[in-house]
Amino acid sequence: MMIDTDMLLAWGASYKKVHAGGIVFMEGNTCNFYYQLVSGKVRWVNIDEEGKEFIQIIIGPGECFGEIPLFDDGQYAATAIADEETVLLRLHKSSFLQLIKDNADIHFDFTCLLAKRVRFKFDLIKSLALHSPEGKIATLLEHFKKENKNFCTDCHQLKLTRQQIADMTGLRVETVIRSMRNMHERGELLIDHGKVYC
């Protein structure tokens, strides 16, 4: 979902640049802004005591992130890190809440986005509990295909690394590599010169 840039600016949003590797916000921090990505890429992660990341979602241009505490006044549930040079629009929380109160269509679109994200988490949790590694990977890829996200639109090449898939599914990268090779042999995906196509 993307709120019109001019509308956000009219409501007081400002641009913010974040360098590759820069932190947008940390897990546990107080939420003060609505964030929408203009350019670049941001990963939303939980980091354990040993520094291992679990990727919740990778955000692309036009998408928002960090939205849960806008509504429940809790803290951020994950850390947002810029994967590359990134430009964000950020709107103060109180202005964002007034904007959606005054614009029913945006409020409805935002509700649909939250429902999609919750459904994705339910599907992913179900696959983590019930399926083989191939099932976990297949659930993730199916979601991204359905959302037309993380795939090259003209050639259907997966734009995620095996490490990113491992970090999203809780699998070891070696398990992801082996599982994707098995999926290739069964015709569930195509691996050509190290690139994955679905």
In the chain, where the domains are located: 5-102, 131-197
What are the φ/ψ torsions at residue 190 (nearest 5 degrees)?
Answer: -120, 130
Specify the pLDDT at position 153.
Answer: 67
Domain boundaries 131-197, CATH class: mainly alpha
Question: CB neighbours (10 Å) of residue 93?
Answer: 17
Residue 153 CB contacts under 8 Å (≥ 6 apart), including other chains: none
Specify the pLDDT at position 12.
Answer: 97
Specify the pLDDT at position 167.
Answer: 84
Q: Which residue blocks in 15-103 are alpha helix, DSSP H?
A: 68-72, 93-102
Q: What is the pLDDT of residues 100-151, one digit of tens each?
A: 999 999 999 989 988 988 888 888 777 777 668 888 888 888 878 877 777 7
Residue 25 CB contacts under 8 Å (≥ 6 apart), including other chains: 31, 35, 66, 76, 79, 80
Pick from 133, 111, 117: nearest CA to 44: 117
Query: Higher-confidence residue: 162 or 120?
Result: 162
Confidence label for 2 from pLDDT (cuts 50, 70 and 90): confident
Q: Where are the beta strands (DSSP E) in 40-189?
A: 42-47, 53-59, 64-65, 79-82, 86-92
Write down the pTM of the prediction. 0.73
Specify the pLDDT at position 192.
Answer: 84
CATH domain 5-102 topology: Jelly Rolls (2.60.120)
Q: What is the pLDDT of residues 16-73, one digit of tens each?
A: 999 999 999 999 999 999 999 999 999 999 988 888 888 888 999 999 998 989 999 9
Specify the pLDDT at position 75.
Answer: 93
